[in-house]
Chain A
């Protein structure tokens, strides 16, 4: 069974780093959108000001992990193996959104792409693609 919004909220509430960043996940039908609300403590460049690139990367990575968790039940949280992040625009001091697209789920590895945007999805501020190690619940190990 696919988890609903309540299960997703419970999953996030258990992750201290998600609370530290203030990340939320919103589920509409089978589409999940990550929300990174603007906060002073996620600014990296105080002059422009701009969000810290590492935080945008971390947010996209978290969106990928949760998207994988809701698609297939896992024994453990999916773990990143490698990720590539392209920074396209500077992150303005406002809320940021992200959606993950699972390109392939293999027996052990999933390939996921994520895009993050602010004003409009047509102008992404960053993109991530990466591989994640899975532990499917029915695979016994």
Chain B
């Protein structure tokens, strides 16, 4: 296991994510495993008849958790981006309860990190959803700040 990094640095980086702030995400701990929390908010309800938080919020929370687990596994900080994400929704979360997510990196290669994650409301052994993800490392690959404000780079014509 790697040393637990300074949670402050992680919290600061997380606070820089506008969507993380909009959801009110909190970093609960980074050791022995990473745990994030999405507080229950009425505006995040996906099914007005049941009051259950939207599946999309669980997806986003697990994506965040996998991203931060990747950041924790890396020796040198680098840009990362989700390559793919699979989510199994085992049961609806209980209305009124916060949702937690934990994730760990089980393999790190030069270009890709492989992760597993779980979301739960109260009990980690009674999960709401599970995630399997792959993240690209050095995803900005030379694109500097503001790169996405430029129009897309022209590409060679696709074979038809």
Contacts from A to B (Cβ < 8 Å): 14-17, 19-21, 40-50, 52-55, 57-59, 61-62, 76-77, 79-87, 89-90, 92-93, 119, 123
* Interface-lining segment among B26-34, B69-77, B86-94, B103-111: B86-94
Known pairs A17-B54, A61-B56; A47 contacts B145 (CB<8 A): yes
- A52 to B152, Cβ gap below 8 A? no
- A50 to B89, Cβ gap below 8 A? no
Q: How far is the CA of A85 from the CA of B145 in the complex (A)?
A: 26
B135 CB, nearest partner CB in chain A, Å: 10
Q: How far is the CA of A93 from the CA of B151 in the complex (A)?
A: 11
Q: How far is the CA of A81 from the CA of B89 in the complex (A)?
A: 5
- A41 to B148, Cβ gap below 8 A? no
A122 CB, nearest partner CB in chain B, Å: 8
Q: Given the complex, which residues of A lie within 8 Å of B82, measured CB to CB?
A: 53, 85, 87
- B63 to A54, Cβ gap below 8 A? yes
Max chain B C-beta neighbours (<10 A), residue from A17, A46, A80, A123:
A17
8 CB < 8 A contacts A-B: A16-B48, A17-B53, A43-B17, A45-B17, A82-B86, A84-B84, A86-B84, A93-B148
Known pairs A45-B17, A61-B56; A15 contacts B63 (CB<8 A): no
Q: How far is the CA of A44 from the CA of B86 in the complex (A)?
A: 19
Q: 18 extra interchain contacts, Cβ-Cβ under 8 A, other than A43-B19, A48-B145, A87-B84?
A: A17-B44, A41-B22, A44-B18, A44-B20, A46-B17, A53-B63, A54-B19, A54-B63, A55-B19, A58-B54, A58-B60, A61-B59, A80-B55, A83-B59, A86-B84, A87-B82, A89-B152, A92-B149
Does chain A have a CB within 8 A of B114? no
Q: How far is the CA of A16 from the CA of B72 in the complex (A)?
A: 33
- B60 to A54, Cβ gap below 8 A? yes
Q: How far is the CA of A52 from the CA of B18 in the complex (A)?
A: 9
Does chain A have a CB within 8 A of B85? yes
- Pick the contact of B56: A19, A57, A76, A93 (CB < 8 A): A57
Does chain A have a CB within 8 A of B42? yes
Known pairs A47-B145, A48-B145; A57 contacts B85 (CB<8 A): yes
Q: Which residues, 1 to 27 on B, are CB-close (under 8 Å) to A? A: 16-22
- B148 to A76, Cβ gap below 8 A? no
Q: How far is the CA of A124 from the CA of B129 in the complex (A)?
A: 27
Does chain A have a CB within 8 A of B47? yes
Contacts from B to A (Cβ < 8 Å): 16-22, 42-50, 53-57, 59-64, 79, 81-89, 92, 139-140, 143, 145-149, 152
Q: Given the complex, which residues of A lie within 8 Å of B47, measured CB to CB?
A: 15, 76-77, 79
Known pairs A17-B57, A87-B82; A123 contacts B152 (CB<8 A): yes
Known pairs A16-B42, A85-B85, A90-B81; A52 contacts B59 (CB<8 A): no
Q: How far is the CA of A137 from the CA of B81 in the complex (A)?
A: 41
